[in-house]
Amino acid sequence: MSLTKLSMAELAVLLRSRQISAVETAAEYFDKIEKEDGKIGAYLTVTKEIALRQAEAIDQKRAAGEELPPFAGVPAAVKDNICVAGVRMTCASKILENFVAPYDAAAVERLRQNGIILLGKTNLDEFAMGSTTENSAFQITRNPRAVEYVPGGSSGGSAAAVAAETAVFALGSDTGGSVRLPASHCGVVGLKPTYGAVSRWGLTAFASSLDQVGILARTVEDTGAVLQMIVGPDSRDATSCEQARGLFVADIPPQKKWKIALPQELLGAQISDNVREAVARAAHVLESYGAQVEWIRMPSLRYALSTYYIISSAEASSNLARFDGVRYGRRAQGYTDMNSLYEKSRSEGFGREVKRRLLLGAFVLSAGYQERYYRNALRVRERIRTEWQEVFTKYDAVLSPVSPDTAAKIGARDPDPVKQYKGDLCTVPVNLAGLPAVSVPFGKGENEMPVGVQIVGNVFSEQSLLQIAALLEREALI
């Protein structure tokens, strides 16, 4: 029996009954990482010594009869923009190439409290800016389903690690779809919780009003279990919410009378036939279980993409100002004064996509343009949020694609950045409104690449979303 093929729930049963040990489990995962990750490139840093010490301590406690959390000894990975104390955190950028995190992020603390073994840090698009994981300063991550294809991004390393069976689950971050998109492309489950449900303390900020720690896992059941570990208020994050507490069990109620909406704006001509068919099949499955599925109009969603890129770039230009070569991170050589220190350090340290978004952000915040672009984008965002709330007065959830198409081949993306950004069409409206959403694998498209469908719910409706996701997951496996 290969331990790397087991879900988190299956692995936990064997660990609790002491049929296997935490050290044995971690060692098997590290063997697979050593054999497989060279061709996938999911990991930037592997923490073998630290993980084996963790595993040994858990085995000793279990042998002594100490009561442990249900999933103690399960191994997982963490995206490399989330702090893990004493471990290098690069954000896949040269500007943080040698930075070592001095503390654990809140989500990592909670994983440790639950006895989760941390295998390493996963690759991403630099500072989470991208949707293919080709923007990393260090390596390209490949899709385990077919290595000539991208895994999606920006949490492509986390999704690839789960799909390649080199982690049971992984933490990612989702600013505009960065968990759900790679989940769809790699054929795993990806959950973006309600904004504020999971503390962002220790997550490197890209766009603070949009960022959220998310989960990539093999099953919906595992996703709910991880969410239960990491949710809840945190005094260090003023945006974290008390309402996030609760159990997240993916039990499927019989013949649930859900009302499900299908927004026409998210199923337009830009959506490929393969993806459209997957969404139609998902709607049919839900109807067969007693749900009522209806087409709706959400006119403001046509403005979501431009609104997202204005707001996220503006916030990024502010958040990334701290990387200046003075306090920490890369410092350029040969500077003559403070201005040249800033210019050289940032020019050498940031990649092309990060520079593009920082320039856009600085422009929309500049005098004479702030009102025309940034403040207008905030007004449109509020309209989008209001429109979502109007939908949820009538419907329990919204069904849509995750991505307009399946994964593209590595190097095949359009050189026009605006055309690249259109791939986020179906995911960014969720972040603008702070809503929870889950991507569930639901078939295959062109070239047998995975297709995911997205379920969006009202704030703090994760339990219902997991129930719907579990139903679709079950039908997808039949």
User: Do 39 and 166 meet the contact criterion of CB atoms below 8 Å apart?
Assistant: no
Residue 219 lies in a domain: yes
Backbone angles phi, psi at 236, to 5 degrees: -85, -10
In a domain, 261, yes or no: no
How far is it, in rounded angstroms, from Cα 223 to Cα 80?
20
Global confidence as pTM? 0.96
Give the pLDDT of residue 416. Answer: 80
For 410-473, the DSSP string reads TT-S-S-HHHHHGGGTTTHHHHHHT--EEEEEEEE-GGG-EEEEEEEESTT-HHHHHHHHHHHH
pLDDT band, residue 327 (cuts 50/70/90):
confident
Q: How many domains does the chain have?
A: 1
162: nearest Cα among 193, 195, 184, 132: 184
- Tell me the C-alpha distance between 350 and 146, whole Å: 30
Measured in whole angstroms, how far is the alpha carbon of residue 89 from the centre of its chain? 17
Asked if residue 89 is part of any domain, the answer here is yes
Does 218 map to a domain? Answer: yes
Q: Encoding tokens for residue 190?
A: 């990806």
- Of 182, 386, 174, 387, nearest in space to 265 by CA: 387
173, containing H or E segment: strand 169-173
Q: What percent of the chain has pLDDT over 90?
A: 87
Query: Any idea which residue has 């996703």 for tokens?
Result: 223
The answer to whether the CB of 189 falls within 8 A of the CB of 216 is: yes
- Dihedral angle of Cα 142, 80, 182, 135, to the nearest 10 degrees: -60
Encode pLDDT of 425-457 as tens digits. 999 999 999 999 999 999 998 789 999 999 999
Q: Is the pLDDT of residue 25 over 70?
A: yes
Is residue 201 in some structural domain? yes
Encode pLDDT of 175-217 as tens digits. 999 999 999 999 999 999 999 999 999 999 999 999 999 999 9
Q: Coil, strand, or helix at residue 293?
A: strand
- Given a contact cutoff of 8 angstroms between Cβ atoms, the answer to whether 129 and 354 are in contact is yes
H or E element in which residue 314 lies? helix 304-319
Query: Which residues are within 8 A (CB) of 476 and not within 5 positions of it... i.e. 6 or more apart?
Result: 440, 441, 442, 443
SS3 454: strand
In a domain, 288, yes or no: no
Q: 């084996």: which residue's tokens?
A: 52
The predicted pLDDT at position 89 comes to 98
Note the pLDDT of residue 417: 81
Cα 141 from Cα 156, distance rounded (Å): 7
Please identify which residue in the block is written with the tokens 């040269």. Answer: 94
Domain assignment present for 66? yes
Residue 209 counted as domain residue: yes
Catalytic residues: 79, 154, 178
Instruction: Indicate which CATH number applies to the domain containing 33.
Output: 3.90.1300.10
Q: Which residues pair with 88 in a beta bridge?
A: 100
Q: Which domain holds residue 151?
A: 3-244
Q: What is the pLDDT of residues 372-383, one digit of tens each?
A: 999 999 999 999
pLDDT in tens, 157-180: 999 999 999 999 999 999 999 999
**Strand 292-296 and strand 397-401: pairing?**
unpaired
- 251: phi then psi, degrees, rounded to nearest 5: -75, 140
* Helix ranges, 203-298 (H): 220-230, 273-288
Question: Phi, psi at residue 217, to the nearest 5°?
Answer: -145, 170
Paired tokens of 100: 């070592």
Token pair 């930037």 is found at 44
